[in-house]
Structure 1
Amino acid sequence: MVAWMRQVQVFDSAGDWMQVFKFIQEDMVLKKILMLVTLVLTFSGCQTVKPIVGPDGSTHQLIGCYYVESCYEKAREVCGGNYKIINTSTETSGDANSTNSSISLLVKCENQK
């Protein structure tokens, strides 16, 4: 880690930044730390909830997550119990090395009119 701290300086050109990136690629410990942080963020199942007005004029909840199970859990939490799934969608992006999927779940809480 001390070697990494020696590498970090004030950067005034793209070449300086490229040296840091090259160092990160070569430093296995730092590489493992970055991979661990990425895994934690990936598997945390980050969830977003946005209330919207549905087609019938009532409030619906638009829930975004990475795993459908976490969407279901969040919907139950937000609705305080039962809910009806109005619509779902999945978006997948990535390249040959990795892919990411995000799920959107539109729900109507059953205790709402």
Structure 2
Amino acid sequence: MKPIYTFEQADDFNKYHADITYFHTQINDFQKYLIDYFQLKDLPKGVFWTSRFVMEEVLEKPVPAFTRDEAIYMCAEKDDEIVLAKFEDESFQKHTYFIHLVSKGQQKWTDLLKFRDYL
């Protein structure tokens, strides 16, 4: 998937570029996993990385990520993780699952592993 940057200011791009690069790699790795083990066929063509303002005010989506028109839209303004959510419909009221992308070895990583092991 091709990363596409949609920021209003160059400073916003510069501020989040390292995190976007890391998380985009994680998404590509997860995509390979879905292809290999679940026969994923309909691949998104790109990931639009944007700011919280664009996500909420311009695109009018109160979520950190969503899919539309064969693309994924991701908000880069997340402190220590990116959460992808699958919703039942466009009301965004009922989630069917979440995917958390976090930096390996960070506190959030450890907390999520402990929670997983607890379950």
Q: What's the TM-score bracket when you normalise by the shorter of the two chains? A: under 0.3
- Larger of the two Rg values belongs to structure: 1
TM-score by length of structure 1 reads 0.19
